[in-house]
Amino acid sequence: MPGYKKEDEMKARKDVVRMGTKVGAAFGVIFFLAFGIIPGFYFGSYGTLVILNHLFGGPLEATVFVRVLTAAGIILGITCVASLSIVVGAIFGTAIGYLSEAIASYAKARAPEAVTVKSE
């Protein structure tokens, strides 16, 4: 069956790219845990306070309402930085998966064919 080998090669190529995507997303999570929590906390809280300052027209007192909204902003900031890190990591992983697959297929195409010797 001539098409069967072609289907196996295509499945192997997709598997390489999928593995690259998963590994890249895992590196994105690790990068977020190492470098993203503090900026997410900072930007979420600061952004919330700036927005509340503009909405209410001046400095705010530390009421329960402001503290709850600041906590929600912190959660939103951390979530945004986490999702950005994971998506960017997955994109880089996918690109590396495509690149490694292209290099492997090029090397396979350039490899010399196996020479068979006929014995009489």
Please give the biggest Cα pair distance in the chain: 98
Q: What is the 3-state secondary structure (H, E, C) of 67-104?
A: HHHHHHHHHHHHHHHHHHHHHHHHHHHHHHHHHHHHHH
* pLDDT tens figures, 6-61: 777 778 888 888 999 999 999 999 999 999 999 999 999 999 999 999 998 888 88
- Percent of the chain exceeding pLDDT 90 equals 60
Q: What is the pTM of this model?
A: 0.77
66 vs 117, more confident: 66
